[in-house]
Amino acid sequence: MSEEIQSLRQQINEVDEQLAELFDRRMTISKGVALYKKEHNLPIFDKEREQQVLARVVEAYPHRDQAFHKSLVTFFQTVMDLSKESQKQWITDQVAIGYYGVPGSFSNEALECFFGTDGVYKSYRTFEEEFQALAEGEIRYGVFPIENSTTGIISEVYDLLAAYDFYIVREGSLRIEQNLLGLPGATLEEITEVYSHAQGFAQSAEFFSGHPNWTLIPFYSTAKSAERVAKEQDPRKACVAGKKAAKLHGLEILQAGIQDNSQNFTRFVVISPNMEVPTGANKISLYFTLEHKPGSLFAALEEISKRGLNMLKIESRPIKGQIWEYSFFVDLEGNVDDPSVADALRMARQHCIDWKILGNYALKPAGSLSSQ
């Protein structure tokens, strides 16, 4: 063997020793992270953090080619996967996270985008049940749909936010493609009944207007609708659901993308009993009620407007037991630790009866959640 190859291999051995030392150091630090997560009831998987790590290492080598970047990403992804596996061993009791619906639902898909595919997840039949599970400590976080770009807000979730002392800690939006699913080999001409959650029908109204002879049957959820069609094995029955539900239940997509709006997104939020304000939080959600008199809403919002804060959204909801009186939900840009923002909130609060900061978290664009 030539001295040249021996010299090169010796250099590799030295680099490998350095890598092993650095890997040992990283895993030791990772154990500290695991203990912190356990103490603060945080999930092991943090998708945003992993994406930041991968982006940073690629940006550190701007002049290297795409093949190098691909290998670099694979290397660091493997290291992070090993770190997560070790953290699971150090954390004996994983944090439980809840979602509405069943496997294959859009809520389940959003959950996995937020927290990964290997956590301890619990499904609930209703939003109320999921909120109650949070209140009883059965789960640490709950994932909820809160708004659709076509059909508007999920009013029940807003009402529950008003009723419970919980907080929004994260948000993200998922592109929603509604599909008509049926048994393998079924045709549109055979269909007589279609099952779906009301949202699925509402988001696909134009498509169904072209099939007036079909009976549309509201059901618990789109994923549950797929489960029912698969179970009944009747080619005359179809459902509205996503591709994940089709794959899960062995159904065929009879017509893809039947939603009216191609830019159809649902915004999901992660809700916790504890307020968490991450670094870079730039969106604030508020809930308040006002005196039932002229100018009360204007007075509260003026305090926000005249201090230059950008209001992103306002919604009103009827107050239970008070006819024609309303509570308000407002989203605005800002961070609660910013003195000017804190001043605006303090002044606005003086015009309100009830007042809650529902969360301060990172504002996310449409399509920020992706399972791919």
As given in the structure block, the two tokens for residue 32 are: 């500290």
CA 8, 11, 12, 18: dihedral to nearest 10 degrees? 180
Residue, of 303 and 21, whose pLDDT is higher: 303
Neighbours of 50 (CB within 10 A): 17
268 is catalytic: yes
Give the CA distances from residue 230 to residues 126, 140, 199, in Å, rounded to whole numbers and listed in that order: 22, 33, 21
Catalytically annotated residue among 268, 288, 328, 329 = 268
Phi, psi angle pair for 229, to nearest 5°: -60, -40
Looking at per-residue confidence, does 102 or 143 come out higher? 143
- Residue 2 predicted with pLDDT over 90: no
CATH class of the region 179-255: alpha beta
Torsion on CA atoms 227, 247, 98, 86, rounded to nearest 10: 140
- Residue 225 identity: S
Residue 37 marked as a ligand binder:
yes
The full set of domain ranges for the chain reads 3-90, 96-175+265-361, 179-255
- With 60 as the cut, is the pLDDT of residue 282 above it? yes
pLDDT of 326 reads 95
3-state DSSP of 301-326:
HHHHHCCCCCEEEEEEEECCCCCCCE
Does 78 participate in catalysis according to the annotation?
no
CA distance 160 to 99: 15
- Number of Cβ within 10 Å of residue 255's Cβ equals 17
CA atoms within a 13 Å half-sphere pointing along the CA-CB vector of 207: 21
Run of H or E residues at 11:
helix 3-39
Instruction: Calculate mean pLDDT across residues 41-64.
Output: 85
Task: Tell which phi-psi region holds residue 308, choosing left (phi > 0), alpha (psi between -120 and 50) or beta.
Answer: left
The response to whether 122 counts as a known ligand-binding position is no
**pLDDT tens column, 255-271:** 999 999 989 999 999 99
Q: Which of 150, 151, 222, 266 is catalytic?
A: 266
3-state secondary structure of 371: coil
CB distance 366 to 173 below 8 Å: yes
Measured CA angle at 127 (ends 125, 128), to 5 deg: 100
In sequence order, what E strands does the chain have? 96-100, 120-124, 141-148, 152-153, 167-175, 179-182, 193-196, 215-218, 237-241, 252-255, 265-272, 283-290, 311-318, 326-333, 352-361
**50 is known to lie in a ligand binding site:** yes
Q: Rounded to two decimals, what is the model's pTM?
A: 0.72
Would you state the pLDDT for residue 94? 63
pLDDT confidence of residue 368: 87
Q: Do domains 96-175+265-361 and 179-255 have the same CATH topology?
A: no
Q: Which residue has the higher pLDDT, 347 or 83?
A: 347
Question: pLDDT category, 91, cuts 50, 70, 90?
Answer: low
Residue 83 assigned ligand-binding role:
yes
Average pLDDT over residues 295-309: 95
For 145, list phi and psi in degrees, rounded to 5: -75, 140
Residue 15 pLDDT more than 60? yes
Q: Considering only 16-20, 163-167, 214-218, which range has the smallest mean pLDDT?
A: 16-20
CA distance 263 to 65: 35
Q: Are β-strands 179-182 and 237-241 bridged in parallel, bridged antiparallel, or unpaired? A: antiparallel
Return the HEC string of 227-258: HHHHHHCCCCEEEEECHHHHHHHCCEEEECCC
pLDDT at 92 over 60: no
- 153 forms beta bridges with 147
For the segment(s) 96-175+265-361, the CATH number from 3.30.70.260, 3.40.47.10, 3.40.710.10, 3.40.50.300 is 3.30.70.260
Give backbone dihedrals phi and psi of 331, rounded to 5 degrees, phi first: -110, 135
- CATH number belonging to the domain at 3-90, selected among 3.40.50.150, 1.20.59.10, 1.10.3720.10, 1.10.238.10: 1.20.59.10
